[in-house]
Structure 1
């Protein structure tokens, strides 16, 4: 097979990671993997792993992107992929118009992946106009069925995102050197019960909920300490200052540490006693919650979206009614009083995700010859 994946850029994020993972799986099985994007820091890794990267400015949500229709059509005709797999809305629209200019019998098969709960409109509908539409969780399947009735239910295929259990092994412990460096950088974390909230600094991730929770717990449990693992974009600097002011007003400066953007997320998840998932909007999947459970750290999260699907199957005692602050307090208190263990994770593996995606490619190709 020759598969061409399209996405805006290759810098960081779940869509980008998924693209690289499928590209690697294609190459490992002897297929040809092409990726079209505007480039980014993950291109070197992509090419080192055997894929071909084709640079095209398909990343801008502006009318100027329409100039890329003809160059994209030329790339498709030049490389003649069997399958074109679109992973984002601008690339999906450009592919839609590009394919119109190719004779029907010469067009590749079209597959899309719905990675997010996009705003519901004509612009987003393009993600549901493909031969097969991959949804990254049951929550996304429901979103498509509820909002895009023009997409036949039989064309929606749920393929969960996956993680490599070898990268997040059960019982993993950070190295002595990492611990030493961390205590040197953040001495306030030593001998504490650590509650971790991973995720970038945005209003969506539930930082205010964390601050309120620590304020309630601190009087009873002086040993607790919250760690926020994630950086603030330049545009979010004012929000970060707002959070810091709130922490000062509640006299919690000694109880909450922001460690910024980190590349050692596995270490922080394993180092923590509990990981929280408090997003105030449903997440399509919830990879960080899965990574935490994979290393054996309990996760407590709201009952919504992909995180709820993961918790209900792997750690149901961590699942609490959405936005119920009392249930959150009680769940954390239980974990403080009685340490909980997490069973080894056997679902949601990267191997399953790759296997199911490549299987889908094969099915679509075989349907052509059936």
Structure 2
């Protein structure tokens, strides 16, 4: 098979990672893998793993992107993929128009993946107008079914995102060198019970809830410390400052540490005693929740979206009612003493995700 995946850019994020993982699996399985994007820092890895990258400016949400329809059509005609797999709205629209100009009998099959709870409008509906629509969780299946009635339920295929148990092995511990360096950089973390909130610095991730939690627990548990793992975009600098000011005014400066953007997230998840998932909107999947549970760190999270699906299968005792601050407080206390054990995670594997996606490609082609 020859598969062409389209996404805006190849820098970082779940969509990007999923694209690379499927590309790698296709190559390993003896198929041809093409990826079209505006480029980015993951291109080198993609190419090193045997895929071909085709650079096209399909990343801008602006009318100027319409200039890319013809070049995209040329690429499709030149490479003649069996399947075009779109993973984002701008590329999906451009593909829609590009395919219109190709005779029906020469068009590739079209598959999309709905990675997000997109705003419900004509612009987003394009993601549900493919032969098969992959949803990354049951929550996304439900979302499509409720908001996009034009998408036949039998065309929606739920394929969970997956992670590699080799990359996030059960019981994983950071190296002594890593721990020493971390205590050198952040001496305030030594001999503490660490509560970790991973994720970018945005209003969505629940930092205010964390600050409130630490304020309520600090007198009772003096050795409790919170770590925020995630960077702030320059556009979010004002929000970061606002949080730092709140922390200062509540006297929590020595109780909450921001470690910034990190590439060693596995180490931080394994090093922490509890990981929190407090996003104030449902997440479509909740990869970090899964990564933490995979290495054996308990996760406490709101009962909604993909995070709730993962927790209900793997660690139901970590589920708490949405926005119930006292339930959150009690759950954290319950995890401090005694520490909770996590069983090895047996579902949501990367191999399952890749196998199911490649099977779907084959199934679509077998209909010819």
Q: TM-score, normalised by structure 1?
A: 0.99
Tell me whether 1:284 sits opposite 2:317 in the alignment: no
Alignment of 1:226-305 (within 5 A): 226-305=226-305
1: distance between equivalents of 2:306 and 2:163? 14
Partner of 1:117: 117
Q: Distance in 1 between matches of 2:182 and 2:289?
A: 22
The aligned residue for residue 200 of structure 1 is: 200
- Match of 2:3? 3
- The aligned length equals 368
For residues 192 and 337 of structure 1, the distance between their equivalents in structure 2, rounded to whole angstroms, comes to 13
**Which residue number corresponds to residue 62 of structure 1?**
62
TM-score normalised per structure 2: 1.00
2:20 and 2:154 map into 1 onto residues whose CA distance is 27
Give secondary structure in 2 for the equivalent of 1:347: coil
Counterpart of 1:108 in structure 2 is 108
Q: Give the match's secondary structure for 1:61.
A: coil
Q: State the alpha-carbon separation in 2 of the partners of residues 7 and 129 from structure 1.
A: 16
Secondary structure of 2:367's aligned partner: helix
Partner residue in 1 for 2:223: 223
Structure 1 gap segments, 5+ residues each: none
Q: CA deviation at 1:338?
A: 1.6
CA distance in 1, matches of 2:333, 2:214: 11
The Cα of 1:124 is off from its aligned counterpart by 0.1
| CA shift for structure 1 position 367 | 1.0
Work out the CA distance in 2 between the residues paired with 1:45 and 1:365: 28
Give structure 2 stretches of 5+ with no counterpart: none
- Matches of residues 300-339 of structure 1 in structure 2 within 5 Å? 300-339=300-339
SS in 2 for 1:171: coil
* Whole-angstrom CA distance in 1 between matches of 2:85 and 2:337: 49
Superposed displacement of residue 337, structure 1: 1.7
2:43 counterpart residue number: 43
The CA distance in 2 between the partners of 1:266 and 1:35, in whole Å, is 27
1:27 equivalent in structure 2: 27
2:181 corresponds to which residue?
Answer: 181
2:57 and 2:244 map into 1 onto residues whose CA distance is 38
Partner of residue 162, structure 1: 162
d(CA) in 1 for partners of 2:312, 2:81: 39
Q: Are 2:156 and 1:145 equivalent residues in the alignment?
A: no
The root-mean-square deviation of aligned C-alpha atoms, in Å, is 0.3
C-alpha deviations, 1:193-246, integer Å up to 9, x for none?
000000000000000000000000001000100000000000000000000000
1:360 matched to which residue of 2? 360
Distance 1:228 1:341 in 2: 23
